[in-house]
Amino acid sequence: MTEKGNFHRWGQPLGVLDGIPIAVKDNFNTAGIETTCASNMLKGYISPYNATVVQKLLDQGAVLLGKTNLDEFAMGSGSTDGIFGPVRNPWSYSRQYKEKTPPKSSSENEESDWVITGGSSGGSAAAVSSFTCFVALGSDTGGSTRNPAAHCGVVGLKPTYGLISRHGLIPLVNSMDVPGILTRCVDDAAVVLGSLAGHDPKDATTIQDTFKPFELPNLIDVRKLCIGIPKEYHAPGLSSEILALWSKAADLFKDAGAKVIEVSLPHTRYSIVCYHVLCTAEVASNMARFDGLEYGHRADMNKSTESMYAATRREGFNDVVRGRILSGNYFLLKQNYENYFIKAQKVRRLIANDFVKVFGSGVDILLTPTTLSDAVPYMEFIKEDNRTRSAQDDILTQAANMAGLPAISIPTALSKRGLPVGLQFIGHSFQEKQLLTVAKWFEKQVKFPMIQLEEVKRHDCSVFQHQKSVSFL
């Protein structure tokens, strides 16, 4: 804790985050600290350098508490498929959930009722949600920050692609990945964004423009806003609860004087298939470096280099990763490239253009649900395979990654089962200030309840004295 020592000695904070405890998803490189991506391939791998975003936080004086769990190599939407096991949603142990969800049978272990965090940045969301830290870094490729944020009742920000450096973030899909920010409130997210955003010479995909950190105004004139409600986001499988919540939120803006209109993003339904092709292709490419030669796991196989590669990769990767590599290589074959990869790129362009048209017609912010339902119990989640789950769960968040747009999930209310539900705002490219301003206003209106973890309550009842029981629902 030298940083804190410095603070006390000189009376000067290192930066705006001095002394703030943070957690970092384990797919960010941290110097001298094991970086595993929840995979056998990198188990025991001590990274020699800090990711740019990690370095920036440390330079501000933040204190790194630990690396958080995830789906292996960020592939998944439940944070259940990593070598360290699944992540449990802290809300599973909240009074709110336990009250609403009696155990299935008295003989059954209480343990089997716990719900997932969503993914793949489940560990980071859980860390923030359970008060272990104020800020956590996640990554977002198809919704991996927003999805667990919604399930864990925290704020999850996906910045515009190119705003924050990816140097040191172990990539899933280079053309869609962004570092994600998980916090308890929108103001905190704005502060962290201010520390992280800006050009990095080590990342050629970051924009050159200088970024000006901003503070969010407390009051805004909602009447100037035009909120778009994309009809395609009323997706199959969307729970009636969330649909109702979404509608109420739209009314909230309308009542406050904003213009709320229905819009169309017609190519939304193709985004999952498109994502599947582009993602697996990039995965196949990005995972090619894991051959056991320079670092990471190396199989005990000496017959030939090829056999060593094969054994290493079979032992190092789980089924999900291997499945995506095989698919990706298939799509990249010469005879398939035109029909799959090029086609998917074209569809991607169409999806991105949907947003351009809508935003170009006067819409400031889009309002959508983040997830189809609240968090499901683990036992139910694992009944379907990773690919199926990812395809279902990513539908509402995926398109923003295709288009590179900023998006944020705000905890809105508790479901019938006592679990958090979040709603998503999608903004114009590089207009994070407007996005966060609207999000902050909304956050103020809904007054999402604090999680009531039994242990915490026992030790500090006063914290909950002034807790308003009024919920948005």
d(CA 19, CA 23): 13
Q: Does residue 64 touch other proteins according to CB under 8 A?
A: no
Q: Does residue 288 touch other proteins according to CB under 8 A?
A: yes
Polymer length of the chain = 473
d(CA 43, CA 28): 14
Point out the catalytic residue in the list 77, 144, 373, 409: 144
Number of residues that bind other proteins (CB under 8 A): 45
Q: Does residue 160 touch other proteins according to CB under 8 A?
A: no
Within 10 Å of residue 247's Cβ, how many Cβ atoms?
A: 11
Point out the catalytic residue in the list 25, 56, 158, 440: 25
Instruction: Point out which span in 7-15, 60-68, 331-339, 361-369 binds other proteins (CB under 8 A).
Output: 331-339
| Contact by Cβ (8 Å): 84, 202 | no
The string of DSSP letters for 230-244 reads: EGGGS-TT--HHHHH
Q: Does residue 281 touch other proteins according to CB under 8 A?
A: yes
| Contact with other proteins (CB under 8 A) among 61, 82, 168, 228 | 168
| Contact with other proteins (CB under 8 A) among 12, 112, 174, 264 | 174
| Contact with other proteins (CB under 8 A) among 166, 276, 324, 389 | 166
Nearer to other proteins by Cβ, of 277 and 375: the residue is 277
Query: Does residue 25 carry a catalytic annotation?
Result: yes
With helix as H, strand as E and coil as C, how does 365-406 read? Answer: EEEEECCCCCCCEHHHHCCCCHHHHHHHHHHHCHHHHHHCCC
In angstroms, what CA-CA distances link 272 with 71, 276, 399, 429? 19, 6, 8, 21
d(CA 77, CA 75): 7
| Contact with other proteins (CB under 8 A) among 285, 431, 434, 445 | 285
The radius of gyration of the chain's CA atoms, rounded to the nearest angstrom, is 22
| Contact with other proteins (CB under 8 A) among 101, 329, 353, 434 | 329
Nearer to other proteins by Cβ, of 180 and 411: the residue is 180
**Interface positions, 185-224, toward other proteins (CB under 8 A):** 201-205
- Least separation in angstroms between CB 385 and other proteins: 26
| Contact with other proteins (CB under 8 A) among 17, 29, 133, 414 | 29
Query: Does residue 390 carry a catalytic annotation?
Result: no
| Contact by Cβ (8 Å): 407, 158 | yes
Point out the catalytic residue in the list 77, 92, 120, 129: 120
Instruction: Point out which span in 142-150, 252-260, 328-336, 352-360 binds other proteins (CB under 8 A).
Output: 328-336
Beta-carbon contacts of residue 193 (< 8 Å; ≥ 6 apart): 157, 159, 164, 181, 213, 432, 436
d(CA 27, CA 7): 30
- Least separation in angstroms between CB 362 and other proteins: 30
Q: Does residue 74 touch other proteins according to CB under 8 A?
A: no
Nearer to other proteins by Cβ, of 8 and 303: the residue is 303
d(CA 435, CA 426): 7
Beta-carbon contacts of residue 215 (< 8 Å; ≥ 6 apart): 190
Burial of residue 215, with CB atoms counted within 10 A of its CB: 0-12 exposed, 13-18 middle, 19 or more buried: exposed
- Least separation in angstroms between CB 94 and other proteins: 35
Q: Does residue 65 touch other proteins according to CB under 8 A?
A: no
Nearer to other proteins by Cβ, of 264 and 305: the residue is 305
Query: Does residue 98 carry a catalytic annotation?
Result: no
Q: Does residue 333 touch other proteins according to CB under 8 A?
A: yes
| Contact by Cβ (8 Å): 440, 186 | yes
Q: Does residue 334 touch other proteins according to CB under 8 A?
A: yes
**Positive or negative torsion for Cα 329, 331, 332, 334:** positive
Chain residues that interact with other proteins, rule: CB under 8 A: 28-29, 35, 37, 42, 47-49, 51, 166-171, 173-175, 201-205, 281-282, 284-285, 287-291, 293-295, 302, 305-306, 309, 329, 332-334, 337, 341
| Catalytic residue IDs | 25, 120, 144
